[in-house]
Amino acid sequence: SVQWIKAIERAGVPEEDVIAVQAGGREIALYGVEGEVYATDILCTHGNARLCDGFLTGHEIECPLHQGRFDVRDGRALCSPLRENIATYPVRIEDGMVFVAL
């Protein structure tokens, strides 16, 4: 069954940027895009790079190591050298808090 984990205050998610948060004993990446919040795994599927150190443009997060890009909405790998999509997690906003289904 889906477990909704409280991650951070909604106000703590930057607009047009990415942050790392702790949720359920693990670290995930949260993205603020056009008033919405998206969540993905934090480690790139290509190598040992943290997407929270990458660059967010629209819905695309660019890995800081080899510039692979994922769509934060569905985790789709958009270009080489990426071969694998990244895991995404449903997000819910309630009482000013961000909850993530892990």
Q: Which residues bind ligand FES (CB under 6 A)?
A: 44, 46-47, 49, 63, 65-66, 68, 81-82
At closest approach, how far in Å is the CB of 7 from ligand FES? Answer: 23
DSSP letter for each residue of the chain: ---EEEEEEGGGSPTTEEEEEEETTEEEEEEEETTEEEEEESB-SSSS-BGGGSEEETTEEEPTTT--EEETTT--B-STT--S---EE-EEEETTEEEEE-
- Closest to ligand FES by CB, 3 vs 48, is 48
- Closest to ligand FES by CB, 39 vs 86, is 86
- Closest to ligand FES by CB, 39 vs 63, is 63
